[in-house]
């Protein structure tokens, strides 16, 4: 059940009426929320529901044992390791088993051995990467003493299955969502106006992202050489597509939660205006980058003992692998690990100090452009069907192919760049003036009507979101 479909509209309309006007007690609302979340999730495949419940139940029980053994550090750590083992095993079996089998076969083939290793018929449960990370972080927080083990499985399962963010994030921390479920918020008119505005912005960005899919596919799926300009158009189009698609989804998720009175933290903050790769990861998929920092980077050592570069690489490699079971995602993660490490080195170098001392608007623009270029290079690996496809794209982007670009390529390039700038512009306007706009109903409601009408006329209802595959 996709956000951008009539089915979801009627699903949420019925839920909203029941939640706010029929089931008014806390327990009834909680049961309704859980049931609705499971129906929402089951719309993809009801066979996935037991796995979701199992993940919730295992970490709920284990967190209780972790807390009970605070006096015994050894036993306490054993329970934590059990939680990590269970969650990573679930991810490993459903998401990475065939990747490991295929990679093993390819490795054996390097030695001239024709190995035939059968892959498994496993369907990847939608949203598994998100809810396993969310569930695992709860046990880790209890272990670290950052929160108490929660009393009430109904509430915990409702948190893990919370349908606005269940299938594609943002990744919610238990410390953030559980208190809201313990004391269910009442939506205000300000919540409703802001929620509708975010949903509208999300649908517009999703519509623009879908329009970028065509130029991206034309370049990446080309079977014959293309011009350097067309290759750049394809890479920029995918950069726009993935931003509009994913940030649009999270805007809708945050907006839907606001209609219920829940607050979900922002997940994107103008990432293509970042001044460095480090700054990019403070702005892009914030819930994942902060999760990787707090639960992985710090766990492997962080900045301690002079091993920051190694720990950054480990974190980004695993972050890349989290996105998908393919070597292109590993390379994408390694690329970001490399450019982040170089950024750290430059920051403390003589060159870095010289640049910072001249941090005028020209320098800032230069840093933004360089960062964006590095990010686009990374997106080539993210989008490519394989290493050969990525290498072909990169060589075509940076070397003459002997193929002449058509006049229409310049037009498409202009449209892609305009789309990129426009999506960031509406995000900036919402961040800067959203609250003030919501207070002016006479202006906001016409904008909402125009925005939703634009989506209905231009949009493609039912078009999948990119991050559903993760």
pLDDT per residue as tens digits for the range 285-343: 999 999 999 999 888 877 776 678 888 989 999 999 888 888 999 999 999 999 999 88
User: pLDDT band at 444, cuts 50/70/90?
Assistant: low
Percent of the chain exceeding pLDDT 90 equals 51
d(C-alpha 143, C-alpha 152), whole Å: 18
Report the candidate in 201, 200, 319, 195 with the shortest Cα–Cα distance to residue 257: 195
Least confident of 15-24, 95-104, 201-210: 95-104
User: pLDDT band at 353, cuts 50/70/90?
Assistant: confident
Angle between helices 327-347 and 350-357 (to 10 degrees): 70
**What are 235's two structure tokens?**
């890479």
Check whether 271 has a pLDDT greater than 70. Answer: yes
d(C-alpha 197, C-alpha 307), whole Å: 45
Instruction: Please tell me the predicted confidence (pLDDT) of residue 458.
Output: 65
Sign of torsion over alpha carbons 372, 375, 377, 383: negative
Least confident of 267-276, 292-301, 347-356, 393-402: 347-356
pLDDT tens digits for 44-94? 888 899 999 999 999 999 999 999 998 899 999 999 999 999 999 998 888
Q: 103 or 384, which is more confident?
A: 384
User: pLDDT band at 407, cuts 50/70/90?
Assistant: confident
Instruction: Please tell me the predicted confidence (pLDDT) of residue 120.
Output: 66
**What are 219's two structure tokens?**
């370049």
Least confident of 18-22, 105-109, 214-218, 235-239: 105-109
- What lies within 8 Å, CB to CB, of 321 at 6+ separation is 96, 329, 330, 333
HSE of 29 in the Cβ direction (CA atoms, 13 Å)?
Answer: 18
Q: Are 55 and 135 in contact (CB under 8 A)?
A: yes
Check whether 380 has a pLDDT greater than 90. Answer: yes
**What are 164's two structure tokens?**
């606005």
Check whether 204 has a pLDDT greater than 70. Answer: yes
Q: Are 236 and 272 in contact (CB under 8 A)?
A: no
HSE of 125 in the Cβ direction (CA atoms, 13 Å)?
Answer: 23
* Residue 72, H or E segment: none
pLDDT tens digits for 419-430? 999 889 888 888
Q: How high does pLDDT run on average in the chain?
A: 87
One of 26, 116, 176, 323 is an active-site residue; which one? 323
Active site residue 323: yes
Percent of the chain exceeding pLDDT 70 equals 91
**What are 214's two structure tokens?**
């065509």
Report the predicted TM-score, pTM, of the whole model to 2 decimal places.
0.90
Check whether 467 has a pLDDT greater than 90. Answer: no
């Amino acid at each position: 059940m996709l956000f951008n479909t009539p089915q979801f509209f009627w699903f949420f309309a019925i839920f909203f009426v029941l939640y706010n006007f029929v089931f008014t007690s806390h327990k009834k609302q909680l049961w309704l929320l859980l049931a609705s979340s499971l129906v929402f999730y089951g719309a993809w495949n009801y066979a996935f529901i037991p796995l979701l419940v199992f993940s919730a139940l295992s970490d709920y029980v284990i967190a209780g044992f972790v807390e009970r053994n605070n006096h015994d550090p050894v036993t306490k750590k054993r329970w934590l390791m059990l939680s990590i083992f269970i969650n990573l095993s679930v991810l490993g079996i459903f998401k990475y088993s065939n990747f490991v089998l295929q990679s093993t076969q390819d490795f054996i083939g390097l030695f001239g051995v024709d190995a035939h290793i059968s892959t498994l018929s496993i369907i990847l449960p939608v949203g598994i990467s998100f809810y396993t990370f969310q569930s695992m972080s709860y046990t880790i927080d209890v272990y670290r003493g950052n929160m108490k083990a929660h009393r009430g499985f109904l509430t915990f399962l409702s948190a893990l299955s919370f349908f606005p963010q269940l299938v594609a994030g943002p990744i919610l921390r238990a410390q953030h969502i559980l208190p809201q479920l313990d004391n269910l918020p009442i939506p205000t008119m300000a919540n409703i106006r802001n929620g509708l505005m975010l949903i509208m912005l999300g649908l517009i960005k999703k519509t623009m992202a879908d329009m970028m899919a065509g130029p991206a596919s034309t370049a990446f799926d080309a079977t014959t050489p293309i011009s350097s300009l067309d290759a750049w158009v394809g890479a920029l189009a995918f950069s726009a597509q993935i931003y509009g698609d994913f940030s649009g989804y999270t805007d809708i998720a945050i907006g839907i939660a606001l209609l219920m009175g829940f607050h979900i933290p922002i997940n994107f903050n103008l990432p293509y205006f970042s001044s460095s790769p480090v700054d990019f990861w403070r702005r892009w998929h914030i819930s994942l980058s902060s999760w990787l920092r707090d639960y992985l980077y710090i766990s492997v050592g962080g900045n301690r003992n002079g091993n920051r570069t190694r720990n950054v690489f480990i974190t980004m490699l695993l972050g890349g692998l989290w996105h998908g079971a393919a070597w292109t995602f590993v390379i994408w993660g390694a690329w970001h690990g490399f450019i982040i490490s170089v950024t750290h080195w430059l920051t403390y170098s003589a060159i870095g100090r010289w640049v910072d001392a001249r941090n005028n608007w020209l320098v800032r623009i230069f840093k933004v452009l360089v960062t964006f270029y590095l990010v686009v290079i990374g997106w080539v690996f993210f989008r490519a069907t394989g290493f050969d496809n990525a290498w072909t794209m990169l060589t075509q982007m940076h070397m003459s192919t002997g193929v002449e670009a058509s006049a229409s390529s310049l037009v498409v390039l202009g449209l892609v760049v305009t789309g990129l700038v426009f999506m960031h512009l509406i995000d900036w306007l919402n961040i800067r003036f959203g609250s003030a706009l919501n207070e002016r109903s006479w202006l906001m409601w016409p904008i909402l009507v125009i925005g939703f009408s634009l989506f209905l006329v231009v949009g493609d209802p039912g078009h999948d979101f990119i991050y559903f595959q993760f």
